[in-house]
Chain A
Amino acid sequence: MDNLLDILSPGELTALRLRALFEQRGYRRYHPGRFEEYRFYLENQSFLKNERFITFNDLDGRLMALKPDLTLSIVKNVDTAGGQKKLYYMENVYRPNATGRNFTEISQMGLECLGRVGRAETNEVVRLAYESLKLTGEPFRLSLSHLRYLAGLMRNLRLPLHCRSALYENIAAKNPHGLREVAKAAGLSDEGTVMLEKASMLSGAASEVLKEAKRLCRNAEMERAVAQLEQAIGGIDDPSVLIDFSIRGDEDYYSGLMLCGYLQGKSRIVLSGGEYDNMMKKMGQTGRAIGFAIYLDELCGR
């Protein structure tokens, strides 16, 4: 029985290593149930970016759904009053597959820090995301963004609210020609358009991009966003850590920092997350929150 680990598949081994990493840093495993009331997900559709769930009637007649997401349930169910909760989970979630024709079971691990979350905790979660990718042993990239950077610039440029989602759509696609068209239609000056294009297309090695991002700041909101990015990656000196302002998140839920992880040779992202203080507020919780999910099926190349 000496080589017990030999019987594990690479995926199981990675999951075990991730568990060990999270446990060593004081995160405790959380076991959410498999289902929630259907109406709970209906109320939070914009976060889930999907309106189709596997549903069934419970014995008391309530319409239930197999969980399409775990963060929502954790925020709803965990009591953070006055304290701090450091949790991780390893569960399956159920969502429509890429074709949209069938449901699929997705094996997911995630880590959440809720309640009293300051600079140290934010830095710790970013470092754990970085170490999670690193322990795969594959070439990786961890990209960070901050939602308030471009939001601050758009406020400074007085861009009307109704055109911002079209602008963000083009920013997420790194589509400068589309961005220019929407900016022109919104009546933005040539100088403003150049500024918006420069800032929103910024991406690359963190140290260089942050310097340029700082130079382009036009108000305190943008400066705070850059400062928070600097603090978040403080102590991680690795060219695999990037800044990329094309990473977006729904502002009803996400509040600032965003994370995205990539492994070479995979076609989809393997890690995503961010600060979701707005979701905490929405769910009636006090305090802040940051976390990320790791898609084990993508990570282990199912």
Chain B
Amino acid sequence: MLNIALPKGRLGDQAHELLSCAGYTGGNLADMGRRLVIENEAAGVRYFLVEPSDVAIYVEHGAADIGIVGKDILEEDRPDVYELLDLKLGKCRMCAAAKKGFYDEARAVLRVATKFTGIAERYYASLGREVDIIKLNGSIELAPLLGLSDVIVDIVESGKTLRDNDLEVIAEIMPISARLIANKVVYQFKSAEISALRDSLEEMTND
């Protein structure tokens, strides 16, 4: 039996659809109601629906054997897990953005508003740029508009929210997509099952 942590929401639904096509269905997730665990003994899988940012925590601590998680969360939290496959789902970009026409003269400490403080810190450290990181939990685009920050670091999907708020991408930090992760200890004991699942998913994502 493989214990799989799936993120609640659209990415979890897409991932489950992919897993179902590969023969690992947990049934109809829409019928789950408030249940957070669903099991399909015949397919050898048990799914847990958890907050997207908690998937890697469940896997790292061995509560789930494997999980599906965004690369943004892996880069931010750096959990000690195996990253077995790029599922090519939920594709977007981690970007730095600012008000249109913004130019960083590097005269003063750059104020950066973001939910992804680790990614922002490492990115600006790699550029040798001194920054003041302001941690926000949502509506990041508001920060430069209100003068709270000079730039933001956030996930950009279509770019519509940026355009609607007169902001633009000033740098692309990294591409983001969903990844299949595994607990390092569990992998040693269930490597055949996990590899079989990984290989089926790889075959499907390569189509």
Contact = CB atoms under 8 A, between A and B. Distances in A.
Asked if chains A and B come from one complex, the reply is: yes
B61 A267 contact: yes
B86 A267 contact: no
Interface stretch (A62-70, A75-83, A111-119, A171-179): A171-179
Interface in A209-253: 242, 246
A143 B184 CA distance: 12
Contact of A175 (B82, B183, B187, B191): B82
B188 A175 contact: no
Contacts of A177: 85-86
Interface in A241-277: 242, 246, 262-269
Identify which of A177, A203, A269 gathers the most chain B CB atoms within 10 Å of its CB.
Answer: A177
B188 A262 contact: yes
A174 to B, nearest CB: 4
Contacts of A96: none
B191 A173 contact: no
Main secondary structure of the interface of B (DSSP, over half): mixed
B189 A264 contact: yes
A204 interface: yes
A266 B83 contact: no
Nearest to B74: A173
Contact of B188 (A141, A173, A178): A141
A160 interface: no
Contacts of A174: 82-84, 182, 187
Interface string A140-182: 0101000000000000000000000000000001111110000
Contacts of A139: 189
B62 interface: yes
Contacts of A269: 184-185
A31 B183 CA distance: 35
A268 B185 CA distance: 6
Given A143-B188, A262-B188, A262-B189, A267 B82 contact: no
A166 to B, nearest CB: 12
Identify which of B84, B86, B184 gathers the most chain A CB atoms within 10 Å of its CB.
Answer: B184
The size bracket of the interface on B is 10 to 19
B135 to A, nearest CB: 16
A266 B189 contact: no
Nearest to B85: A177
B60 interface: yes
Interface in B79-114: 80-86
A141 B189 contact: yes
A262 B185 contact: yes
Contacts of B85: 176-177
B14 to A, nearest CB: 18
Contacts of B185: 262-264, 266-269
A263 B186 CA distance: 9
Identify which of A242, A263, A267 gathers the most chain B CB atoms within 10 Å of its CB.
Answer: A267
A204 B191 CA distance: 8
Contacts of B80: 268
Given A267-B185, A268-B185, 14 more contacts: A141-B189, A143-B188, A173-B82, A174-B84, A175-B82, A175-B83, A176-B85, A177-B85, A177-B86, A264-B185, A265-B62, A266-B185, A267-B60, A267-B63
6 contacts: A174-B83, A175-B82, A176-B85, A178-B83, A262-B184, A267-B61
Ranked 8 nearest A-B pairs via Cβ? A267-B62, A141-B188, A175-B83, A174-B82, A177-B86, A173-B83, A262-B188, A262-B185
